[in-house]
Chain A
Amino acid sequence: QKEVEQNSGPLSVPEGAIASLNCTYSDRGSQSFFWYRQYSGKSPELIMSIYSNGDKEDGRFTAQLNKASQYVSLLIRDSQPSDSATYLCAVNGAAGNKLTFGGGTRVLVKP
């Protein structure tokens, strides 16, 4: 059973602080990794993709990947109330065509 694990939260963060979200995965053959943001009642929206070890930055978001530790994280800098949402980690396995999603981490940014 290929698994993707996330802390369900809620992760409460003051406005302007850094939110740090973690995700671990079990399939060592995983090739690609994605973070989605899902607002309540809405569909998931892709915010970050990462394929190789290290950091990838896009605006206020930074994704970090460590394949040896089977760990991927998302940092949200200068958190805003509009960042309050559930963040889903998704991992594409060796087969390449299917994503396995974590249960999501709920983030609350308080003004």
Chain B
Amino acid sequence: SQTIHQWPATLVQPVGSPLSLECTVEGTSNPNLYWYRQAAGRGLQLLFYSVGIGQISSEVPQNLSASRPQDRQFILSSKKLLLSDSGFYLCAWSDLASNQPQHFGDGTRLSIL
């Protein structure tokens, strides 16, 4: 069966520091991969999605970036964090075929001080 791993579970970072969050998927090949952010009490905001290695689509302008160096690895990065980057970051995957549901990792709760 397929599993998705996301780490770390919680992270506290100072303003202006760099960020790297990693997500890996097991048990499937060529998945679609997604990064979402959820602010406290709010809905899910799609940040990036990828349909293949090196293929990244950005949904909103921001100081975050994403990379997909391997088929089942998705990384979210920032060179300098802002206070507004605080939130619950979720990685998700779906089968490459269209109209499939997405399956979420456990998330990373990021607090910026």
Contact = CB atoms under 8 A, between A and B. Distances in A.
Contact of A44 (B42, B44, B98): B44
A88 B98 CA distance: 20
Q: Chain A interface residue count: which class?
A: 20 to 34
A49 B109 CA distance: 27
Interface of A: 31-32, 34, 41-46, 49, 51, 88, 90, 92, 95-99, 101-104
Interface of B: 32, 34, 42-44, 46, 49, 51, 90, 94, 98-107, 109
A34 B43 contact: no
B90 A97 contact: no
Nearest to A44: B104
B42 A103 contact: yes
A98 B99 contact: no
Given A43-B90, A103-B43, A51 B106 contact: no
B32 A97 contact: yes
A85 B99 CA distance: 25
A32 B99 contact: yes
A37 B43 CA distance: 13
B49 A98 contact: yes
24 contacts: A31-B98, A34-B102, A42-B106, A43-B105, A43-B106, A44-B44, A44-B90, A44-B104, A46-B101, A46-B102, A46-B103, A49-B101, A88-B43, A90-B101, A90-B102, A92-B98, A92-B99, A95-B98, A96-B98, A97-B51, A97-B94, A98-B49, A101-B43, A103-B43
B99 A51 contact: yes
B77 to A, nearest CB: 21
Given A43-B90, A43-B106, A43-B107, A34 B46 contact: no
A31 B98 CA distance: 9
